[in-house]
Every structure is written in C-alpha cells, then in structure tokens.
Chains A and B, each alone.
Chain A
C-alpha cells in the first residue's frame, strides 16, 4: 500500500520559459508534511536543472523537436530567421482562444505551413505528458501511483475570463494525452517526431481523445496555498504581487472555510514586468558602453546583453551593481543608474500605486469581515528583488486598524530538514506547481469536484 493512500494530486505550471510539475498527497492541505511534496524531474537526469522543462517546439525540415533540443536547433538557425514556438502561455490566455488556436503558425516557426497553433500546442503538451510519465516512474514514491487529481496553473486575469477558457484548454490536454499514449517515450528523444508521421498522429489523437477531469488553479491561489499552508492562524486576507516575464499582476485573495475567493476590484495588471526591466537595463548598458559603432557592433552588444541578462539583472538587483565584460572592457551598471532611469521610475510608481490600491481593497474587505491582518507576498521571477520586498515590508495602511505581514517568497517549510537545504534555492521556480499540488479542491477556479 502506498504511504499516501489518499492518492496524489499533480499540478502542472505551464511557465513562459519552462514547464514545471509537482505532486502531493490529496490530503496535503489537511495534513501537511513537507517531506511528501514531490517536485517532478521533468527534464530527466542528464545534467542541467532536472525540474525545468523548456517550453519550446521547433518545426525542423525533417522533424518536430521539443524542449532543449528545440531551443538548440532554433538557436543554430536564428540567423536564417527561424524560431521555436515559445509563447504558449500568452497564447493560452488570449480572450478568443478558439480562434487563436485555429490560426496557422507563422512561417518563421513552421516553414512547411502544415500546423495550426493548436497542433503545435497539442504536440508540446504530449511531450510534457511523456516527461511527466518518465519523472513519475523515476520517483520511488510516485512510481505506479495514479494521479487522482490533475490540475494546471494559469494567471487569473490576463484575458479576464481564464476560467471560461478552461474547457478549451482541457480539450488540448486530452488530445495530448491520447497522442502521448500512442507515441510514448519517443516524444522525449532529441531527434523529435518525424514530420511525415505528425499529421496522422494528430488526427488519430483527435479521434482517440477521451474526456479528462482536470482542474484549473489560479497562480495567485497556488501562491496563497504554499504561503499559508501549515499556518492555521495566518490572516485570511492576502495580496499577491506576481512579477512575471510579460506582466506584473496583483490580486487580493480572501480565505474562508478552506476556499479562496478573489476580490475582483483589487485586480491590477501592469504591462511592465521582467522583460521591461531587461530592456531598461540593456539600454543603460548600451549607453555605458558608449557604443556608437556600426550597427553590427550594436547588434553584437545587444545579443550579448540578452544572453547574459538574467545574470546582469540578478547582480544589479541583489548586489547593487553588475559588471559585464564587453570586449577588452568591463562595463559597470549600478542600481542607482536604474533607479534614476525615467522608465524604471515610472514602473516603480505604477507598481506602488497598483499595490496600494489592491491593499486598500483588501483592507476594506477585511474591515467588513471584522479582521485586521493582511498577508502580502511576491511571487514570480522578480519576487525576491529588494525593491519589491521593500514595498511589501513598508506597506502603507492605517497602522492603528490593520497589521500587514510580509510573507517570505520562500516559505519557512521549504527549509525543512528533510531537504538538507536543497529545496529553498530552487523553490521560487517550482513554487506555483507545488502550491497548486497542495491546495485543496475548494481553491480551484474550475474543474473541481463541485463543477
């Protein structure tokens, strides 16, 4: 008998750059034990970060490639104007999803003009499904178990009706499951799937697809779950700031009787986020380089900056400065340069304004509920940035009436002894998948038991 005889819940986090997945026993919310949280090694054990599966599909001349192989081939052919399909997450959150799925992929992605966006997403999801099966088989606690509950995490607000898109997305997963059942581990091979076979495989998958029970959990709810689990007396109100790649999203949540409700009036989305900060930094670095040379030189510098941007941004935000080797020179970028930048200053003002607004909505609701404590937390790639943490720690509220508790981006339980200090460093990347796996069904936005 399994140690977790209530069965397992699987949550997939379909990230912009990487997909992640985690499993947890079905009753984790009621009986939480960090040792039973199982992030899945989707990328296998051949070196690299085993938990991050690149979200990429590349249509080559002879085959459709997935994940790391897709990225590698796309990089080699970038100068020929070829690219991998990467923006699944953006595509899946557009308001008219069915129409978007029917469109053909651009020629830079599919020069054969064979595939619709739907086809490519189904193929990627089949690859993801095969990666989940491999990771499950390799985990001694999960091997041979059945995921009684399956979920995926999605942002709540980009299209305004994420829950409304749920049926279409589950249909994609359902076809992908059928395709993965047919093709199996071949999907994981670096040579990919032969182009000649793909069309018939997709067609067969459409016929073989069976109804699938799958839940949708909003990313903010997943964050609320991993933040407040095990803290029975934590505040019922929470403001979640998600600094993602493309957008910064702020939401206020209210927990009542095991269920989490969103306070829609508090919702705010900024178009400035990680990629926006990248551009600001790249412009500062270009200025610092005094690069007035040829277009070729400027392009080379820009490409260098984009390749190293995660490192540059990390040092700039956490150490206060970043050094970058550029030819025989060392460019120095300082946090104070970024602070002085007009676009970045405007982003910070907008972020502060949106956070203040969401917090005010949460406070008003808390007052009506006769509560006085609000939790605030940042999630996503930029969650640990000191300027974001400062904003949370210096929240502007009426201190006589409300107490604001800033929760750490990595919860205390991620430091549990069992992990020997190894979960915390990678937790931010796995956070949403883990939160989605441990949350109770009551927190689902769609596809839960009561649907």
Chain B
C-alpha cells in the first residue's frame, strides 16, 4: 500500500534511538571488556612467561571482540600499500612533500567513518626503472 502523499516536514527525532542502539552494542562489548580486565588483573600474579603470554593473548582476544561489537574497524593492514590520505594516515617521518603512496606500518582505527587513530605509515621507496 502506498497511502497518500508523504509530507516529511522535519527530520525525525533520532538521538534517543541512536543512544539505545549504542547501549545495545555496548551491552555486547561490555562483557568482552570485563573479560579483558579480569585477565589483565591476573598478569601480576602470573608465575611463568608462558602463563603471562597466555593471559596477554586472552586480553587481546577480548579487546578484539569488544572492538568488533562496537563497530571499530582497522584502517589498512600491516605492509599494505595505499594512496596517502592525510585524514587517515600519520607519516612516521615527514618530508618536504606529501607522498603519493605509503606503506602501512601500524593499522589505524575508525568507527562509523570517523577516524579515531590514524594508521602509522612510511613513504614507499620509488620503484627502480626497468
């Protein structure tokens, strides 16, 4: 049914809905964060390097889950070559001019199109001519 003519005179009220959506994703992320903190708390008492390594891996796993559930995404992958974008990339050493291409050293993090941490990048070496 396509009843009547629609008149959308104003923007809808969306702040409350966006907050409830945020709460929903936080609910899913909170448990993972709690696990990360619980495992992190055990680190000091860990007796062996193997135990510490396992705990750190568990902390990392929980942080990855929390990040996914909040919609955080990585910017680039380590070693990837990308066109330089000053909004998304932080050059590890600055030259006189912005490079065209860069290599990702450490991926950045974004959420919903907003860059939270820029990717650390290095200028690629010019290709040798054949």
Contacts and interface: CB of A to CB of B under 8 A. Distances in A.
> Are A and B bound to each other?
yes
A197 interface: no
Nearest to B113: A415
Contacts of B24: 49-52, 426
A6 B22 contact: no
A19 interface: no
A319 interface: yes
A55 to B, nearest CB: 17
Interface in B14-54: 14, 16-25, 27-28, 32, 54
B61 interface: yes
Interface in A359-404: none
Nearest to B68: A318
Contact of B3 (A7, A51, A140): A7
A25 B6 CA distance: 9
Contact of A323 (B14, B27, B54, B70): B54
B79 interface: no
B130 interface: no
A4 B70 CA distance: 30
A78 interface: no
Interface stretch (A39-47, A118-126, A346-354): A39-47
Contacts of B20: 41, 45, 50-51
A186 to B, nearest CB: 24
Given A39-B17, A315-B65, A420-B18, A323 B25 contact: no
A114 interface: no
B70 to A, nearest CB: 6
A420 B25 CA distance: 12
B6 A314 contact: no
B4 interface: yes
A389 B114 CA distance: 24
A30 interface: yes
Given A419-B112, A422-B22, A319 B61 contact: yes
B11 A35 contact: yes
B54 A315 contact: no
Nearest to B29: A425
Interface string A294-326: 000000000000000001001100110011010
B68 A31 contact: no
Given A49-B27, A323-B54, A311 B3 contact: no
A29 to B, nearest CB: 8
B31 to A, nearest CB: 8
Interface in B53-99: 54, 57-58, 61, 64-65, 68-71
Contact of B6 (A6, A45, A323, A421): A6
A132 to B, nearest CB: 15
Given A35-B14, A49-B27, A30 B112 contact: no
B113 to A, nearest CB: 6
A330 B65 CA distance: 18
Nearest to B23: A50
A6 B3 contact: yes
Contact of B61 (A1, A315, A420): A315
The bracket for how many chain B residues form the interface is 35 or more
B5 interface: yes
Contact of A3 (B3, B9, B57): B9
Contacts of A47: 27
Contact of A421 (B11, B68, B71): B71
Contact of B14 (A5, A52, A419, A426): A419
B129 interface: no
Contacts of B2: 6, 26-27, 30, 440-441
Interface in A4-31: 4-7, 25-27, 30-31
Contacts of B18: 418-420, 422-423
Contact of B54 (A330, A422, A423, A441): A330
B50 to A, nearest CB: 9
B58 A325 contact: yes
B52 to A, nearest CB: 11
Contacts of A417: 113
Contacts of B54: 323, 330
Contacts of A31: 6, 8
Given A39-B21, A148-B3, A424 B9 contact: no
B10 A3 contact: yes
B17 A441 contact: no
A257 to B, nearest CB: 14
B128 interface: no
Given A3-B12, A425-B69, A420 B22 contact: yes
Interface of B: 1-14, 16-25, 27-28, 32, 54, 57-58, 61, 64-65, 68-71, 111-114
18 contacts: A1-B7, A5-B7, A6-B3, A26-B3, A36-B8, A39-B17, A41-B20, A49-B24, A139-B16, A311-B32, A315-B64, A322-B61, A417-B113, A419-B14, A419-B21, A421-B113, A425-B71, A449-B1
Given A26-B3, A422-B21, 17 more contacts: A6-B2, A27-B2, A30-B2, A51-B21, A139-B17, A140-B13, A311-B32, A315-B65, A330-B57, A418-B14, A419-B14, A420-B112, A421-B112, A422-B22, A423-B18, A423-B21, A424-B71
- In the A-B complex, the 9 residue pairs with the closest CB atoms: A421-B112, A425-B71, A422-B21, A425-B25, A422-B22, A330-B54, A6-B6, A49-B24, A140-B13
